[in-house]
Amino acid sequence: MSQLTETAITTYSLQETSVDANGLFKIIDMNGQYPQQFGLFLSPHRKDFYFMALVRQGSSRHWIDMVPYTLKPDSFYFTLPHQIHLKEKSVPSVGKILCFTDEFLAMEENASLKQLPIIKNQHNGHELTLTAENIAFIEDVMNKMQAEYEQKKNWLNGMLLGYLRVLLIYLSRLYNEQFKNEEPSADRMLLKNFRQLIDEQYAELHDVAAYADQLNISAGHLGEVIKQQSGKTAIELIHERVVLEAQRLLFHTDLSIKEIAWQLGFEDASYFNRFFKRLIAETPMQYRRQNREMYH
C-alpha cells in the first residue's frame, strides 16, 4: 500500500478532484484511465461527494475504510461522502464515473432522492453485480446523462436531476434485491434517523439523551425502539461509530493516540484507550500494529 499520511485524512471536494468540475455534479468516461489526479487515489483520502462507477473492464484493488476489494468487470460501485478511500495502484479501467454532492440532490423537491436505499446505504455495501439487462439500462441512462452534461443546454440541472432520479431508483431496486432490504416502518425510520445523527455528531455527542432530544422523544423510548430494530442498545450504536472512526484513523494515519482521542471528543487519552480496548479487545496501539503487519 502507499505510504501512510502523517496528519488527518484529507477531504477532497468535487471541485478539487477535476479541473473542469462544476462543483456539484460530474460524469466522465474511463477509457483505460481515470482522468483525474492520481496522487489523490494513491494515498488515503475522503470525498465530500457521492462516487459511483459503472465498471465494464478493470481489476484494480481499492480500500473503503478498512475493507479491501478488487474491481470486477460488469459491476457497479458506489460510496458515500466522507468514507476513507485508497487505491493501491493504477490499473486501466473502462466504464463511467458519476459524482454528485448533497447540494445537488437537495435541488430536487422534498429531497426524496436522499431517502433512496442506494443513497442511504444502510447495509454499507459498495458493489452491485449486474446482468446484461442491467448494464444495458444503466449505460443508456448514463450515456444520456453524459450527453446532457457535456452539451450544457438550458435547464441543465433539471435534466440531470431527471436522469439521476431514474438511475438512482433503478439502482435502489437492485440494491434491495441484492441486500434484501425491507420497506422501512416508522420504527425503522427512527433507527435510520438515529444512525444519521450519529454519523453527523459522533465526535461531539456520546450520550443517548442528547440524540433523543434532537429526535423529540425520550431517551427511554429511543432506547426501546433501537434495541428492538437493531438488536443493540442505543449507546452501543454510538460507541460502534466512534470506534469505527478510531479504526480508520489508526489504520490510515500516523496520528498519535492522544491526537485521535482528541479528534473523537475524548479529553483523556487513557480513558480513550480503555474505551477502545473494551470494544475491540485490544489497545489502539495493538490494533494499529497488528493491522499494519497484516495489510501493509
Average pLDDT for 125-133: 91
* Contact between residue 179 and residue 125 where contact means Cβ atoms under 8 Å apart: yes
Give me Rg for the CA atoms of the chain.
20
Average pLDDT for 103-120: 84
pTM of the model: 0.61
Measure the CA–CA gap between 88 and 237, rounded to whole angstroms: 31
pLDDT digits (tens, 9 = 90+) for 157-174: 899 999 999 999 999 999
pLDDT digits (tens, 9 = 90+) for 191-239: 888 988 998 899 999 999 999 999 999 999 999 999 888 888 999 999 9
Measure the CA–CA gap between 59 and 40, rounded to whole angstroms: 19
Helix (H, G, I), strand (E, B) or coil at 16: coil
Which among 146, 158, 221 is positioned nearest to 191, based on CA atoms? 221
Average pLDDT for 16-38: 64
What pLDDT, on the 0 to 100 scale, is given for residue 4? 40
* Residue 25, all three cell numbers: 455534479
pLDDT at 3 over 50: no
pLDDT digits (tens, 9 = 90+) for 248-264: 899 888 899 999 999 99
**Which residues are registered as beta bridge partners of 245?**
none
The enclosing H or E element of 182 equals: none
pLDDT band of residue 144 (cuts 50, 70, 90) is very high
* Residue 21, all three cell numbers: 468540475
Domains and CATH numbers, the chain: 10-179 (2.60.120.10), 186-295 (1.10.10.60)
> Would you call 166 exposed, middle or buried from its count of C-beta atoms within 10 A (0-12, 13-18, 19+)?
middle
pLDDT digits (tens, 9 = 90+) for 59-111: 777 777 767 778 888 999 998 888 877 776 666 788 999 999 988 888 887 67
* Contact between residue 232 and residue 226 where contact means Cβ atoms under 8 Å apart: yes
Measure the CA–CA gap between 214 and 197, rounded to whole angstroms: 9
pLDDT at 295 over 80: no
